[in-house]
């Protein structure tokens, strides 16, 4: 998005009369602002970044404008997963030199620490809800996974991990402070860029580690551009979105910044491009991670919900936030893992009863 903002003038030049005004917010604030605006049809934004959690829920409620693209846009070229839906080597950790074996999200939030932790719980054989929609946060897989996470981070992670999300860890990693990092595939293009990463020539890629199963262990999230139904400039917004997500835009960025810096994780044609393959050492691993993620089959036990790092129900946002806060407290040493999960379970149970999933 930061790169896209730099190229705004190109769009404005090609579309006289349309002016772009960008608003950049911290992720938690972004989620709050766009949720408030979309539910009230406030029309504060003509385009907003939303994700795989919000899209099906908001679309069903009629809160989004349907996107209609031209034939040359080639929507079928967008990767199906996007379109439809860690072992620690102690020798890496040198705390006296501020080098840590592993850096993982710890900042509380359903889209922050819980985005990563859900994939870990999935791999330990856990799930958010059983087939009767009963929360499972006090189950053995949850306790085992979160205990493993908390113990590992205390021994081998950086201090203050409860304040770390994607951007904070990216900064640490690019400074050579982290041995391993499991997060969104988009990180690959940043940590291999010698202009911003001191370890660009020392990076290798692997699929997420697994415990009991590889089901649900891979990250699957996409930030997308959407037009809220309250927009007064829907036609102009449509033009921008079609430009910003097109093949031509990717080619333009490649011409400006090189193929290693183009937007990834979206179009098959990008991964088929010989120049991209040659420039992006992460291309094969990134595509494998994306293609192996299945939001319809992300847990070992059968689950009633869709989503790898979330459950696509309106109540999940509050449930995930509460769970993230409790687990962050356990990571900070304020409460035990068992107590954190008990508290999160009670909170989840209240939300599901309020939503009338069961009595």
Going by their DSSP bridges, the two strands 48-50 and 224-226 should be labelled as: antiparallel
* Integer Cα distance of 224 and 52 in angstroms: 8
CA 338-341-342 angle, to 5 degrees, is 85
SS3 string of 276-341? HHHHCCCHHHHHHHHHCCCCCCCCCCCCCCCCCCCCCCCCHHHHHHHHHHHHHHHHCCCCCHHHHH
Give me the residues of the chain with pLDDT under 50, please.
Answer: 86-89
Burial (Cβ within 10 Å: 0-12, 13-18, ≥19) of residue 279: middle
Tokens standing for residue 170: 């990216």
Burial (Cβ within 10 Å: 0-12, 13-18, ≥19) of residue 78: middle
CATH 3.90.480.20 fits 2-73+223-264, yes or no: no
Tokens standing for residue 341: 């999960």
* Integer Cα distance of 92 and 178 in angstroms: 8
Count other Cβ atoms within 10 Å, centred on residue 132. Answer: 9
pLDDT of residue 92: 65
pLDDT of residue 87: 24
pLDDT of residue 91: 57
Q: In the chain, where are the structural domains located?
A: 2-73+223-264, 90-219+296-354
pLDDT of residue 64: 86
pLDDT of residue 219: 82
pLDDT of residue 96: 63
Q: Is 229 left (phi over 0), alpha (psi -120 to 50) or beta?
A: alpha
- Looking at the chain, which runs of residues are DSSP E strands? 48-50, 100-103, 178-181, 224-226
Contacts from 278-287 at CB under 8 Å and sequence distance 24+? Answer: 280/188, 280/189, 280/192, 281/192, 281/203, 281/205, 282/185, 282/188, 282/189, 282/192, 282/203, 282/205, 285/188, 285/205, 285/206, 285/207, 286/185, 286/188, 286/205, 287/79
* Integer Cα distance of 293 and 218 in angstroms: 6
CATH 3.40.50.300 fits 90-219+296-354, yes or no: no
Q: What is the pTM of this model?
A: 0.76
pLDDT of residue 58: 83
Q: Which of 206, 203, 207 is nearest to 193 (CA)?
A: 203
Tokens standing for residue 104: 């993982």
pLDDT of residue 69: 81
pLDDT of residue 186: 87
- The alpha carbon dihedral of 145, 146, 152, 153 has a sign of positive
98: CB partners within 8 A, 6+ apart: 158, 177
Count other Cβ atoms within 10 Å, centred on residue 58. Answer: 20
Tokens standing for residue 217: 């262990």
Tens of pLDDT along 181-215?
999 888 998 999 999 999 998 888 888 889 999 99
pLDDT of residue 85: 64
Do domains 2-73+223-264 and 90-219+296-354 share one topology? The answer is yes
Tens of pLDDT along 147-184?
999 999 999 999 999 999 999 999 999 999 999 999 98
pLDDT of residue 62: 83
pLDDT of residue 277: 93
């Amino acid at each position: 998005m930061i790169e896209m903002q730099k190229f705004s003038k190109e769009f404005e030049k090609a579309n006289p009369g349309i002016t772009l005004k960008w608003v950049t917010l911290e992720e938690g604030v972004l989620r709050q602002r766009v949720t408030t605006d979309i539910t009230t049809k406030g029309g504060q934004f003509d385009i907003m970044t939303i994700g795989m959690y919000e899209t099906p829920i908001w679309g069903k409620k009629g809160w989004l404008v349907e996107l209609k693209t031209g034939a040359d846009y080639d929507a079928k070229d967008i990767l199906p997963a996007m379109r439809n839906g860690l072992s620690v080597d102690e020798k890496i950790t040198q705390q006296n030199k501020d080098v840590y074996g592993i850096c993982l999200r710890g900042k509380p939030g359903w889209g922050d620490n819980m985005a990563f932790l859900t994939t870990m719980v999935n791999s330990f054989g856990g799930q958010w809800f059983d087939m009767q929609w009963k929360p499972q946060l006090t189950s053995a897989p949850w306790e085992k996974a979160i205990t493993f996470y908390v113990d590992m981070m205390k021994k081998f992670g950086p201090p203050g991990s409860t304040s770390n999300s994607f951007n904070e860890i990216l900064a640490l990693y690019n400074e050579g402070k982290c041995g391993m990092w499991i997060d969104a595939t988009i990180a690959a293009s940043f940590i291999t860029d010698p202009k911003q990463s001191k370890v660009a020539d020392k990076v290798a890629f692997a699929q997420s580690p697994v415990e009991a199963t590889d089901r649900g262990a891979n990250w699957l999230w996409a930030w997308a551009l959407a037009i809220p139904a309250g927009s007064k400039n829907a036609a102009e917004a449509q033009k921008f979105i079609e430009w910003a997500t097109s093949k031509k835009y990717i080619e333009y960025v490649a011409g400006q910044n090189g193929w290693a810096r183009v937007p990834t994780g979206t179009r098959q044609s990008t991964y088929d491009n010989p120049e991209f393959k040659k420039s992006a050492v992460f291309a094969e691993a990134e595509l494998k991670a994306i293609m192996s993620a299945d939001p319809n089959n992300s847990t070992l036990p059968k689950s009633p919900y869709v989503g790898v790092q979330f459950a696509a129900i309106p109540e999940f946002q509050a449930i995930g936030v509460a769970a993230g806060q409790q687990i962050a407290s356990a990571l900070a040493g304020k409460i035990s893992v068992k107590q954190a999960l008990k508290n999160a379970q009670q909170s989840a149970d209240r939300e599901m009863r309020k939503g009338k999933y069961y009595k």
